[in-house]
A and B are shown apart, each in its own frame.
Chain A
Amino acid sequence: MIAAALVAASLGCAPAVDRLHLVLLTEGIPPTLDPVAALDSRVDNPIINLYSALVQYEPGSTELRPDLAESFKVTDDGRRYVFTLRDAARFHDGTPVLAEDVKYTIDRMLTLKIGVWAYLTPVSGAEVLDPWHVAVDLYAPFPGFLGAMTRLYIANADLIRANEFEGDLGQRWLQTHDAGAGPYRLVSFQPQQQFTVERFPAYHGGWGERHIDSAVFRVIREEAARRIALVNGDADWIYLSSADTLEALVGEPGIVVNRDPTLNQLYIAFNSQSRHLADARVRRALALSYDYEGHLEHLMRGNAEWPRGVLPARAECASLDSPRPRTDLDEARRLIAEAGIDTDQVELTMAFEGTTGETPIFEIMRAGAAQLGIRVTAVDIEWDAKVENYSRLETSTDIGTIWLFAPGPEAHHFLYSLAHSGQAGNGGNNFAWYQDPEMDALLEAAAEELDAEIRCALYRQVEALWLEDMPFAVSVTMVGLSAQRDDLHGYAVSLGHPLTQNLYPMWREQ
């Protein structure tokens, strides 16, 4: 076998390195290339390279810049945005990006009600004013609108219509095809293996001296294999999920490791409708029993951030004055005693995703609860099944993990999505089944408030109420881990597009 290997090796040789070609090794293959599904970061990753939105974040920041839209105006009541399109923007088939395409993209999202629609539920429709002007209407003012619009990638209406199958609005065709106007166009898509993109010469953003010509995104699920490929020079950039691998790569010649800030935060839901957790004091006690420092220092080896309050540090309205989550067993025991709970009778269930490395989070929670005399049993479950379980109260566990990946820094995306009663059940993020009219009123008022100062004051009140009622404990804020060759530059994580690799700003030393 070894001989066979060596013979095979002698027959082939490694390809010469193309300085304008990148090889990126990721963990998850996109289940589709349909831009409406870009709520999922595995989909957002190719889509951010293949498509353009009306507005987009500057790479590496949360600052918005025009993209397909040259400019926009908003009416005084904040319910209508009129976008003026660039006349130079072209889809990959050479046709111009027109207002009709924007309207089609919005109508398609509103009809399908999937994917990025979750971020844009306040949108009521769109109107074509002329080929270069389109109005987007909202049911109510929505300060997070422009941030959410960075995920609404504009698709080529004619191309999709031509490829519809039994009225599916092109869903089937878009699984493996590209109808975008982004900087790169799709060359090939091999399901479960890789996809290749190349530079689109007519990209409206223009091409300077330093850009990548083409790139291949290959899926290698095993992190050790990705690491070997990077060290050997077979890859230029790799995704990392383990702090151990990152540490092993530190100091490796020719390799740079990246620790990028994110808006992704881990919350631990306490089911407020569960028999034992209906009392907020018990929920607060459990939150106080969690070993946050141990999670950060030992599990994440410092490659995560200790949040303050209930928002990630880089989110809108996040405050340095907000308290950090803390472990205080004495206080936790006092709360349990005050609630009059007979801990011998309490056994809680906790849902987590073992396959994505969440087992230690369960162990930390179990160990903390055990200090209070409360038993926690494991429900190791996949994400889809967890969402399904949390869709109905009777199948929801007492405790559950939820990572929140927001499309932008707006506090609304975090707090409304987790704590509003309308988000409980039916696939929503309110795994705590938290229902409080005061909280709902605050969140609804903040969602429509256009004055940033007043909005943040409302979110301060939300935070205070949250910490009192503790529907969720805030565990850690993720730090994006990756590694790359040291001659690669321009890699910048956009906070609104977690776990994506935006090729446009990237370049390599010649």
Chain B
Amino acid sequence: MRRYVVRRLLLMVPVLIGVSLLAFFLSNMLPGDPARAAAGRLATPDQLEAVRQRLGLDRPLPVQYALYMGRLSRGDLGTSLTSKQDVARELLIFFPATLELLLATMVITVGVGIPFGVRAATRRGGWFDHGFLGFSYFGVGMPVFFLALLLQLVFAGWLRVLPIAGRLGLETLPPPGLTGMYTVDAILAGQWSTFVDAVRHLVLPATTLAIAGVSEVGRITRSSMLLALSQDYVRTARAKGLPERSVWLHHALPNALLLTTTVIGLQVAFLLGGTVLIENLFSWGGLGTYAWTGIFRLDIPVIMGVTLISTIAYLFVNLGVDLLYARLDPRIEYE
């Protein structure tokens, strides 16, 4: 297993190089001039040239890429052309915000999706099953921006029980930043009111993102459970006189979860790329918003930084999913 993990970690390097290559050349194909983005709209030709030279933008693209990779190997993601700040430092601000939203979304997705799927399968044809299937059609089919506005209207507008946007209330100062995730930092600092405020702000964006995930994960869990429940080992377990609940949870579910785990992994990947819209709608101030402004301002170091950190996160999620397979199914062994 250890060798497998090391091999997978080593394999990440060529993947990252490939992604960085693609992202670098695609970023440079965007309309606009990064030198002007850095120097300002009304920069004189001399200034533009000076900026171009200082940033190495006057050199051929392959040379620029090689220089970038050289800096990257030293952990230097470069400096944002517009904010003049280290991209790595900015990522430390924005990535935890997205990670917090993503984790909250996954807690809802897994915590609701799997139990719903199990219950729908074990009550097949019943009202819960029909209700859940109806909900899942709604969850998968509903455009996420519309759902966000709807939830904002109902819970922030009509019921007024949840804040409409942001990560914290206007009066709440961010907790001391250890992880950058306000909920975690608030707990670590013992600031309970800040924790409650952060949770309240998480509910709407995380729920919006999770509804599609709950539908997907629930449906897959339901069909996998139905398949598992029709297997011989389940019949045997029942014949041994095990309680039905034990049959579901200890015999059928572990086998059914294999496919569900794959879908959860895919959900994480989807969320990593799909939070841009939700972050904008809920003024979340995370990686999605950072990427959005980077693209609009043609800030290539930012685009590259976001792409690389998203890729790394995705690769680790994939690795985690693969390792989980072995835990769920003893027949799977990694060498």
Contacts and interface: CB of A to CB of B under 8 A. Distances in A.
B269 interface: no
Contacts of B84: 168, 171-172, 175
A113 B47 contact: yes
Given A220-B164, A221-B280, A225-B152, A190 B285 contact: yes
A206 interface: no
Interface stretch (B5-13, B196-204, B234-242): B196-204
Contacts of B43: 113-114, 427
B255 interface: no
A234 B298 CA distance: 35
B283 A220 contact: yes
A232 interface: yes
B152 A228 contact: yes
A366 interface: no
B165 interface: yes
Interface in B159-215: 159-167, 169-171, 173-174, 193, 196-197, 199-200, 203-204, 207, 210-211
B309 interface: no
Interface in A152-175: 168, 171-172, 175
Interface in B21-68: 30-33, 36-37, 39-45, 47
Interface stretch (A252-260, A300-308, A382-390, A432-440): A382-390
Contacts of B280: 221-222
A8 B41 contact: no
Given A23-B170, A384-B37, A232 B44 contact: no
Interface residues of A, number: 53
Contacts of A234: 163-164
Given A12-B197, A192-B289, A385 B149 contact: no
Size class of the contact patch on chain B: 35 or more
Interface in A406-428: 426-428
A194 B170 contact: yes
B108 interface: yes
Contacts of A194: 166, 170
Contact of B298 (A12, A31, A224, A385): A385
B285 A114 contact: no
Interface in A185-231: 188, 190-194, 216, 218-222, 224-225, 228-229, 231
Contact of B283 (A12, A193, A387, A428): A193
A248 interface: no
A175 B84 CA distance: 8
A228 B85 contact: no
Interface string A393-406: 00000000000000
A12 B281 contact: no
A216 B36 contact: no
B156 A228 contact: yes
A12 B200 contact: yes
A224 B151 CA distance: 12
B52 to A, nearest CB: 13
A168 B38 CA distance: 13
Contacts of B274: none
22 contacts: A1-B108, A4-B108, A8-B200, A11-B199, A15-B170, A31-B297, A113-B47, A172-B85, A191-B90, A193-B166, A193-B285, A194-B170, A221-B280, A224-B152, A224-B153, A225-B149, A225-B283, A385-B30, A387-B36, A388-B31, A388-B36, A426-B44
* 7 nearest A-B pairs in the assembled complex, by CB-CB distance: A9-B161, A114-B40, A192-B285, A228-B157, A193-B285, A385-B31, A388-B32
